[in-house]
Structure formats: C-alpha cells, structure tokens
Amino acid sequence: MASVLIVDDEELISSNLAAYLEDEGLEVDVANSAEEALRKVEAGLRVQVCIMDMRLPGMNGDQACQALHRQDPGIRFLLHTGSPNYVISPELGAIGITPDHLYRKPVTDMTKLAATVRALCAGR
C-alpha cells in the first residue's frame, strides 16, 4: 500500500488531506511540525511520499525536506504552501522536487494531488 506523511501545523488542513487520501486507499501518517516528522522517520516510520507545508514554526519546509532526504533518500516530496511567491530552491530541485510537485493552498483539485502521490509512490 502507498504510504504518505503529511507535515502541516494547521490541523484542519492536515486532517482534511489525510481523510481524503485515506479514502483514496493510501496509508497516511501526520506530523504537526518538521521536528515531529524527523523524529517519526528516525524512529522507523517508512513512507514513500511526504506532503510538506513550507511555512512551519521552527524548522521550515525547505530545511525539513533536506533533512528527511538525508534520513531516507527514497522519500519523494510534494510541497504545500499558501505563499503565492514561493519558488522551489535549487537545493530542493537537486533532490528531485519539480514545479509539478508544488501545490498552492487551498488545493482545489484533490484528485490531481492524489494522482501525483500515486505516481510518486509507483516511481520509488
């Protein structure tokens, strides 16, 4: 089964994303901070895709993606941000994150997001 980690400090957003993806047959775990996500992966959580909020308290999404990639280079990422000006950094591009992996909040087409998650899981 495809496995996803959602990292978002807004509980309503993470719970809605999780519920939708679970209804789509995906196994979902949620972390409310980058630090929590890192602890979960360090403790043995294995996921194929991480949906990362880019604005987080403490460690930001950019830093978290890089740290998670160092922990498990097989994790693929979707970026989730409410910032209309966010641009993917060269460091994130270097770990395979492309503009197709960037979703702006609010996500209006959850079917597209779920399809992208499945495609990333299949390509792992």
CA distances from 75 to 12, 69, 109 (A): 24, 6, 23
In CATH terms, the fold of domain 3-122 is: Rossmann fold (3.40.50)
Domain boundaries, the chain: 3-122
Please write the tens of the pLDDT for every residue from 12-30. Answer: 999 999 999 999 999 999 9
**Structure token pair of residue 85:** 């000006």
Phi, psi of 12 (to 5 degrees): -60, -45
pTM for this model (two decimals): 0.95
Please write the tens of the pLDDT for every residue from 77-89. Answer: 999 999 999 999 9
- Does residue 1 surpass a pLDDT of 80? no
Mean pLDDT of the chain: 94
* pLDDT in the model for residue 73: 96
